[in-house]
Amino acid sequence: MDFVTIPQLAFSGLTIGCVYSLVGLGFALTLRATELINFAQGEMVMLGAFIGLTLISFFHLPYIMVFILSIILTGIFGMFMERFILRRILDNKSPLLNLLIATLGISISLQALAIILWGREPVPYPDIFSVEPVMFFGIRLQHLNLWILCLGLASMAALQFFFQKTMTGISWRAASLDPSTAALYGVNRQRNVSLTFALSGALGGGAGVLIAPLYFASFGMGHSVLVKSFAAAAMGGFGVVGTMIGGLALGAIETLAAGLISSEYKNVIMYVILLAVLMVFFRPKTPTGRSITEGSKVAAGRAVNLFSADMPFWIRPSALLLGAAVWLIIPAVFDVYTMRILNLALIFAVAALGLQLIVGYTGQFSFGHAAFFGIGAYTSALLAIQLNLPFLLTLPLAGAAAGLVGWLAGPLLRLSGHFLAIGSLAMGEIIFLLMLNWKWLTKGAYGLYGIPFPSIFGFEISSDYAYYFLVTMVLGLICFLVHRLTDSRFGRGLIAVRENELAAMVNGINLISQKTKAFVIGTACAGIAGALYAHYVTYINPDSFQFHVSVEMVTMVVIGGLGSVPGSLIGALVIILLPEYLRGLADYRLVVYGGLLIGFMMYLPGGLADLARYPLRILRQRLQKNVREVTQ
């Protein structure tokens, strides 16, 4: 390796780092103004790339003009998104996770619209830059890279000037630090939020125009930079200058690690460094408290109990008989395809129950749940293939393995809020990359074939109908245990931690112990679900356990209703079954699906569980009335 290689790699890293910085700045601005993790930020990158491609291909505009117009148009779209979708959810004071799922719905809809308008195949940008490199002390600098570096740095400098030297920028900074005091001085919060989404969209669109000529414009390109840009913002403490430096540093680390150490482990190295930075610099010194005037962190209403002592005696046996009848009738009514999709939904419901314990009851943001789902799947599959262990043994061992890794990841729970979210995301990405690169164990991208069907007491469960009974029995047992757990003193302790950590600690609750126990139990549930999944599909590879699967699981919990055990089941059924039944709409199904997610968050802040509570509450009132009439 000659002395030119390292500067060459560093220059390439700074180029891609500019893109990470711009997208990360969008995250940082929305977080500081609204505390929201905007999953649609990646689609702003995609939108900017396709707008730029259209302007270059059809109008033959110069690149600098395309860059400016893309920034303006995506900024307008960001403002539109806030005004007509997110503002209603913000005004309802819904939990932050509701806002997050709404941005996920926007993301899904925008991806689907991009497929309809520009197609599924990646589209290359026209050749608009000279291929002859510029030589600088022996370093080969491509014209495209120079343009990206110059425009990226100029955009960051302009943003910094805006926040430091203009009254609008200064008022935005004041509102982000102390909204209540800023409002007393006449700072309009809604205008600031609109400005935030306009700037966030503009930064994402500009990044899209910069990165697309390096690769391609495609409907999924936003995801490729989403996670790393969020990591860049976290490394910078979600500050403006910090995010700029964090993105550039992250790009340089990634490229140097790939060139000097290993291209396969470059992202592992990057995420390990990110975790170290989070644990050293962003671990809170004291627990967070909340004002008594603030509402609950969970929007779901109180559960309706139809089996209390003041209800008619026949209610419980009648409900059990009805449930058993429905349980037995379902396989007789549905075809094989429907049963297969239903089984997958029930398997994911087991994982969602574990996540409900972590997110819904303890209030910890976790975006790495799919990694524990994968650990359970690989553990059970490898034990069955390599050691020929029976399913009744591999199933609990899969849960134990996932729970053990969850316990080892326990120190991450010392982080809070968005830093915990990015920490769990980084942990999930590390586990996914190890699954991909440990070919000696997992077979890498080829995956594991020939995973045996479960065999219990000599009976092989290979049909979809037989698997339905297995999964429902496991799900029923997990539901019972989680319900008993959340209804105990331990469960009430979790809720106390969720609502106010400082008050919980003052009342003698060990915060780290509570969080760790919930996390271990939740990840063990994910491991059990992973084992059920592996033995059902009989083939697994790391792609089944990526970040987007974790996001789907969070969506199940929020759609069903935070803090609701039955809601986890409802959410899993909706998220898995709904896209299948929208297949008749072809490419438009994901537009509708994304729109439904947005609608749920706008009009059902407590999730679908709240929708069921209203008729149950009326039924309970009428039954109580009948009991009183009979006793009188």
Dihedral-angle region of residue 448 (phi above 0 means left; psi in -120 to 50 means alpha; beta otherwise): beta
Side chain identity, residue 490: F
In this prediction, residue 518 carries a pLDDT of 95
User: Using 50, 70 and 90 to split pLDDT, how confident is the model at 632?
Assistant: low
> Please, which pLDDT band fits residue 585 given cuts at 50, 70 and 90?
confident
Q: Is the pLDDT of residue 432 over 80?
A: yes
> Which whole number is the average pLDDT over 26-55?
91
pLDDT at 292 over 70: no
Is residue 385's pLDDT more than 90? yes
Segments making up each domain of the chain, as ranges: 7-81+135-259, 337-546
Given a cut of 50, is residue 66 above it in pLDDT?
Answer: yes
CB-count exposure of residue 631 (10 Å: 0-12, 13-18, 19+): exposed
Least confident among 134-143, 388-397, 434-443:
134-143
pLDDT at 534: 96
pLDDT at 136: 72
* Alpha carbon distance 346, 349 (integer Å): 5
* Half-sphere CA count of 59, side-chain side, radius 13 A: 11
| Percent above pLDDT 70 for the chain | 90
Task: Give the Cβ contact number of residue 443 at 10 Å.
Answer: 16
Q: What is the pLDDT of residue 622?
A: 67
Q: Residue 293 has what pLDDT?
A: 46
Question: What average pLDDT score do residues 70-98 get?
Answer: 88
CA distance 553 to 571: 9
Residue 291 has pLDDT above 70, yes or no: no
Residue 309 has pLDDT above 60, yes or no: no
For residue 586, pLDDT beyond 80: no
Burial (CB count <10 Å: 0-12, 13-18, 19+), residue 577: middle
pLDDT tens digits, one per residue of 324-359? 888 889 988 899 999 999 999 999 999 999 999 999
DSSP-assigned letters across all residues of 31-74:
HHHH----TTHHHHHHHHHHHHHHHHHHH---HHHHHHHHHHHH
Cβ atoms of 169 and 34 within 8 Å: the answer is no
Residue type, 165: K
Average pLDDT over every residue of 161-184: 88
Average pLDDT value over all residues in the chain:
87
pLDDT band at 288 (very low <50, low <70, confident <90, very high): low
> Which range scores top for mean pLDDT: 533-547, 560-574, 617-631?
533-547
* Stretch among 33-42, 292-301, 381-390, 587-596 having the lowest mean pLDDT: 292-301
pLDDT, tens digit, for every residue of 513-526? 999 999 999 999 99
| Cα–Cα nearest to 403, from 544, 531, 571, 564 | 531
Of 248-252, 256-260, 290-294, 570-574, least confident by mean pLDDT is 290-294
User: What's the mean pLDDT in 109-124?
Assistant: 91
For 447-484, the pLDDT digits (tens) are 999 999 999 888 899 899 999 999 999 999 999 999 89
pLDDT, residue 376, reads 97
pLDDT of 139 higher than 90: no
